[in-house]
Amino acid sequence: MPALANAKTVLTGVKPTGAPHIGNYIGAIRPAVRLAAEHGRSYLFIADYHALNAVQDAKALREDSYQVAACWLALGLNPEKTVLYRQSDIPEIFEIVTILSAVTPKGLMDRSHAYKAAVDRNKEEGKDADADVNMGLYTYPILMAADILVAQTDIVPVGKDQVQHIEFTRDMAGYFNNTFKKPVFKLPNYQLESGVAGAILPGIDGRKMSKSYGNHIPVFIDSAARRKLVMKIVTDSRRPEEPMNPDDVGNNVIFQLYSHFATPDETLGMRSAFEKGGMGYGDAKQQLYDVLEREFEKPTQIYKDYMADRKKLDELLEAGAAKARQVARETLSAAREAVGLNRLK
Ligand code: TRP
């Protein structure tokens, strides 16, 4: 067996919120798949109970959860190596929530960015501070801490918006370990997605790529639809023969997108063609389409195959849950014992 670069445990949770776009892929999915492959133990789970605070539509939750599993499998996650499961299949997590709740000050939850943002929005709109805030949203950080602590996680790859959650997780683990004088929970570290990971790609209208702007290119679409979206990228009226200055090339949406999917040589090639003059936007779009096709044509087929075979997905997720529950039971047993309850039988 090849030596693993790192014997640590890495864990990521993904809320089921629909199909990803190519910006999600570059910024979060690809780096997490790589990180999982590099580490001795890796866990990836569908945070379905976290989604329940906002998605209260059974059909959507079920469908979106399958989508997450199919998506990560299609994009290279190896289920033999990375433990892939549904959060809701690990009951130990929820018992740990109850245990952590007993040592977590309410004030910590009051300081949560997500909760504070909801309160601020309500105040701005002249509503009651806690309007539409359910307890699931309020205690979201405790559930997230349980997700992480149950697996004795070393590293959680996160975007900036999630850093506070990892700090809170460390706080809660520390409260517990200090209160009961037993090192039951390992304090995790976050790894900030930086550089290409965490990158924000421009959308086809030049603004940040986002589903809410409707300017995104989905990962899993057929080739004709992909081509159509690429051809819709907004450009200026520069003529093909006009040379472009280096800054303008760097700011060009086609070039920016291309550079994330092309090899370094291909990227240099497009850059010099723009700078010399003679490269029209139509040609550049064709090249962008080609590299997207190279990257996503096969995964799109794999994704479709998984989505057409829910039984297969269920089997994979159940096998993952069985593995995840082994470490979960050990952690929960140790926590129960530390507070004066029986170990699990
Ligand atoms: N809060 C994360 C998000 O919104 C999802 C998540 C839930 C998570 N539990 C986790 C991420 C544990 C990492 C580790 O993206």
Which fold does the domain 223-302 belong to in CATH? Tyrosyl-Transfer RNA Synthetase (1.10.240)
Sketch the domain layout of the chain as residue ranges: 9-200+310-339, 223-302
Ligand 1 center–CA 14 separation, angstroms: 6
pLDDT recorded at residue 72: 97
Q: How far apart are CA 274 and CA 254, in angstroms?
A: 11
Q: Give the whole-number percent of the chain exceeding pLDDT 70.
A: 97
- How much is the mean pLDDT over the chain? 95
pLDDT recorded at residue 196: 59
Residue 317's identity, in one-letter code, is L
pLDDT reading at 199 higher than 80? no
Residue 1 pLDDT class (50, 70, 90 cuts): very low
Catalytic residues: 123, 208, 211
* 8: enclosing H helix or E strand: strand 6-14
pLDDT, one tens digit per residue, over 172-192 is 999 999 999 999 999 999 998
Ligand 1 center–CA 213 separation, angstroms: 23
Ligand 1 center–CA 139 separation, angstroms: 13
277 — alpha (psi -120 to 50), left (phi > 0) or beta? Answer: left
CB atoms within 10 A of CB 205: 14
CB atoms within 10 A of CB 120: 11
* 191: enclosing H helix or E strand: strand 189-192
Domain covering 9-200+310-339 in this structure, CATH number: 3.40.50.620
Residue from 64, 112, 158, 165 to probe ligand 1 pocket by mutation (most atoms less than 8 Å from CB): 165
Kindly report the protein residue whose alpha carbon is nearest to atom 12 of ligand 1.
13
